[in-house]
Each structure stands twice: as structure tokens, then as C-alpha cells.
């Protein structure tokens, strides 16, 4: 019987969105207990967040360095720390904890820029610790089903990948009004200092790119991008058109937008091979449309018939009982828990992980920087 893993957290205090998601995800399958953290750069906010979260006051720290240092000295030290701060605050805490021997779960995108990303890769490689990046959409069972179908060549050689991620919550200038409901979320995401070179391409375009890589395992050769900031006064892109050419000869595109009125969280991927095609949409994620060439399409259902175990094993309830975003996110946490136990019990790090790792994160940052590079060169094709 494995005990609950001890989880620490950096960021995610009151008013944050993704921190709460990480906590639910960690709890869902009962692999973790949250025991330590720094929840905000504002000490008072952090402290009252810690209280709400029932953190032992002795394990609420004033900053991440202090936390890393003190946790490292404890017998019952945390097994892993989750970093859920804005992008510019990923690299330093991650490095700090890795250097103290801790495993790390980090929100995406990996870092503020490519320099930081390369730095972080080296630290991870040297550390021998586990590093997971919560590109959470890879945790959806039907995404894993799609990936497995492609690994098993059910679609034949892939020709085309069309991915998109459309939202509309930044259709107006939320970041200009600190009374707006989405102000906190909007302000750092539209600020190059905290978000990096990419706006919507970094916030959500990277999810689409990661999903393509995860499902198809195609390697990108070059891209051509046209980024736009539609909302007056906005510094970063809020819309991106990207054309893709893969090394295999496959082609594709990514459209990501945060001004596409009527779209809530429209992440969609379509993959077309010589023998068949698939369609998946995050907003109704329990189904995968599969269209074998020359036959009627069928609708594969999570936990239903003809589902690979790689997908079935990460669901909790029978087909027809919908699972959602939190369950997909929880699958990443459960993957990481299993990996940590492998390491604890067998002393080894799994070289290849189903959960997104630091190299996926590096690719994401490269993707952001290459799209910006292409776009500023009037959509020149840029080698990846």
C-alpha cells in the first residue's frame, strides 16, 4: 500500500484559477496530500490561502527558496512541488527545487523564453528528478485513444493535421480595467514581461501544438505564422494563424484565438491519414469520431467498445457518464504519482513518459518563439 505523496505548491493562492485546478487534480485519485507551499508573492494572501488549504502553519513559507531549503531538511519532506505561477515565475523556482533534489510539476508554458527553457532542460537532466509539465489536454482518455490508434497505424501515414484553439474571453480590453472580472487572468497574460513573447499563441496555441505532437508524434520541420493583436492597445497577439510542415511531408495548421466571439474553450484536433481520419473536441471530450476511408464514421466513446487500454485505464466510470477537464488533468497527476513511485521503489527514472515532460516544454517555447519570428518576418517559413 502506497502512502499519499506529499505535495508542495508555489502559487495558486486566492483568486488564482489554475492553482485550484492542480489541487483538485492532485486529490481526485487520492495519490497526493498538499502539505506545504507559498501561494502568493503577497505574504498575507499566501498566508490566508494556506489557512484555507489547511496547511500546517510551519509549512507555509515566505518564499520558494525558504521552502526548498527547509523542506529539504525535513524527514517528511515533500515528494514533489507544483509550480503554478505566471510564466515568468516558472524557471527560478523550478531550478531551485530541482537543485535541492525535488521532483517538479510545472504549469505550461515551460518558461518565459527559450533561454530559460534551455537552462531548465539542463538542470532537469543533471538533477535526476522527475519533471512534468501540465499540458493537461494530453490527459484526456480519448486523446490517448487517438494517439494509440495512430501508433497502431489505424489511420495509415498521416497527411494532414488541423488543430485549433479558439476562445473569446479577450475580445475586449479586459486588461485595461482592473475592475473587470477577468482582470487578474488577463493582465499577466497580455504582458510580455510576465507572459513572454507569445500572447494567445503561448497561452493556448502551445496546447494545440503539444496536442498535435502528442497524438501524431509528427516532428515539425518548419512553420509560417501570422500573429495579430486585434484589441487596441494590446501588446501581445490575440490571434494566430500558423501553417505547418512536418518532417514526414505531412502538413497542417494551427489557428488559435482569444477574440473569436462565441468560443469558450474550443480546442479541436483533426488528423487525416491515408486510411482514415479522426476528430476530437475538448468541449465534448468523451467522444472521438473515427472515419475509416470508404466506411461510415463511428463514434468511439470513453470507456466504451473498441477502446485501447491506454485510454480505458485512465477513466473512472462507465461510458455515458461524462468525465471532463478535471479528470483529464488528474490523469497527468496520477501518471506522475506512478512515476514517482517507480523512482522511489525501483530507484529509477522512467526515460519515456506518457505525461508531458521538459522536452515537450522546450518544444513549446521553441514553437512560441518561432511563430513570433516568422510573423515578424512577414510569415517567412522558419525552420523549427
Q: Which 118-157 positions form the footprint of a copy of itself (CB under 8 A)? A: 155
CB nearer a copy of itself, residue 121 or residue 242:
242
Which residue intervals of 198-267 are DSSP H helices? Answer: 200, 206-216
In 16-102, beta strands by DSSP E: 32-38, 80-83
* Other Cβ atoms closer than 10 A to 58: 9
* Other Cβ atoms closer than 10 A to 222: 16
Residue from 14, 41, 45, 172 binding a copy of itself (CB under 8 A) = 172
| Partners of residue 277 on adjacent β-strands | 272, 291
Write out the binding residues for a copy of itself, residues 233-252 only, by CB under 8 A. 239, 241, 243, 245, 251
Q: Residue 14 class from Cβ within 10 Å (0-12 exposed, 13-18 middle, 19+ buried)?
A: middle
Write out the binding residues for a copy of itself, residues 95-114 only, by CB under 8 A. none
Q: Does 4 bind a copy of itself (CB under 8 A)?
A: yes
Measured between alpha carbons, how far is 77 from 7 in angstroms, rounded to an integer? 9
Applying CB under 8 A, which part among 60-68, 96-104, 126-134, 263-271 lies near a copy of itself? 263-271
- Nearest distance, CB of residue 301 and a copy of itself, angstroms: 6
Q: Does 356 bind a copy of itself (CB under 8 A)?
A: no
Q: Does 12 bind a copy of itself (CB under 8 A)?
A: no
Applying CB under 8 A, which part among 48-56, 92-100, 209-217, 344-352 lies near a copy of itself? 48-56
Q: What are phi and psi of 295, to 5 degrees?
A: -125, 160
| Partners of residue 188 on adjacent β-strands | none
Write out the binding residues for a copy of itself, residues 286-315 only, by CB under 8 A. 286, 289-301, 304-306
Which stretch of DSSP H or E encloses residue 226?
strand 220-228
Q: Does 327 bind a copy of itself (CB under 8 A)?
A: yes
- The pairing of strands 131-133 and 251-257 is unpaired
Q: Does 162 bind a copy of itself (CB under 8 A)?
A: yes
Residue from 12, 277, 361, 364 binding a copy of itself (CB under 8 A) = 277
Amino acid at each position: 500500500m502506497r502512502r499519499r505523496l506529499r505535495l508542495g505548491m508555489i502559487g495558486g493562492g486566492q483568486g488564482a484559477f489554475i492553482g485550484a485546478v492542480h489541487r483538485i487534480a492532485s486529490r481526485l485519485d487520492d495519490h497526493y496530500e498538499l502539505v506545504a507551499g507559498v501561494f502568493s508573492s503577497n505574504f498575507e494572501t499566501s498566508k490566508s490561502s494556506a489557512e484555507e488549504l489547511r496547511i500546517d502553519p510551519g509549512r507555509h513559507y515566505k518564499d520558494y527558496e525558504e521552502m526548498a531549503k527547509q523542506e529539504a531538511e525535513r524527514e517528511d519532506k515533500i515528494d514533489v512541488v507544483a509550480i503554478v505561477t505566471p510564466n515568468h515565475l516558472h524557471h527560478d523556482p523550478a531550478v531551485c527545487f530541482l537543485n535541492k533534489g525535488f521532483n517538479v510539476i510545472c504549469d505550461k508554458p515551460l518558461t518565459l523564453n527559450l533561454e530559460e527553457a534551455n537552462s531548465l532542460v539542463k538542470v532537469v537532466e543533471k538533477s535526476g528528478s522527475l519533471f512534468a509539465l501540465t499540458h493537461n489536454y494530453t490527459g484526456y482518455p480519448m486523446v490517448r485513444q487517438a494517439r494509440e490508434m495512430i501508433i497502431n497505424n489505424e489511420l495509415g501515414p498521416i497527411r494532414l493535421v488541423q488543430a485549433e484553439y479558439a476562445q473569446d474571453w479577450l475580445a475586449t480590453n479586459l486588461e485595461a480595467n482592473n475592475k473587470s472580472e477577468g482582470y487578474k487572468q488577463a493582465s499577466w497574460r497580455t504582458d510580455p514581461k510576465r507572459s513572454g513573447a507569445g500572447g494567445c499563441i503561448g497561452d493556448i496555441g502551445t496546447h494545440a501544438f503539444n496536442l498535435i505532437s502528442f497524438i501524431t508524434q509528427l516532428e515539425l520541420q518548419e512553420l509560417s505564422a501570422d500573429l495579430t493583436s486585434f484589441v487596441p492597445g494590446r501588446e501581445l497577439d490575440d490571434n494566430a494563424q500558423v501553417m505547418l510542415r512536418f518532417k514526414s511531408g505531412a502538413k497542417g495548421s494551427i489557428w488559435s484565438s482569444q477574440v473569436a466571439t462565441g468560443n469558450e474553450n474550443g480546442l479541436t484536433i483533426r488528423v487525416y491519414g491515408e486510411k482514415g481520419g479522426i476528430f476530437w473536441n475538448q468541449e465534448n471530450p468523451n467522444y472521438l469520431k473515427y472515419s475509416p476511408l470508404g466506411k461510415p464514421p463511428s463514434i468511439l466513446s470513453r470507456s466504451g467498445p473498441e477502446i485501447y487500454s491506454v485510454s480505458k485505464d485512465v477513466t473512472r466510470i462507465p461510458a455515458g457518464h461524462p468525465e471532463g477537464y478535471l479528470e483529464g488533468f488528474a490523469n497527468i497527476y496520477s501518471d506522475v504519482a506512478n512515476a514517482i513511485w517507480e523512482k522511489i521503489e525501483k530507484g529509477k527514472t522512467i526515460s519515456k513518459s506518457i505525461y508531458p515532460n521538459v522536452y515537450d516544454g522546450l518544444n513549446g517555447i521553441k514553437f512560441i518563439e518561432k511563430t513570433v519570428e516568422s510573423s515578424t518576418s512577414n510569415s517567412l517559413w522558419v525552420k523549427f
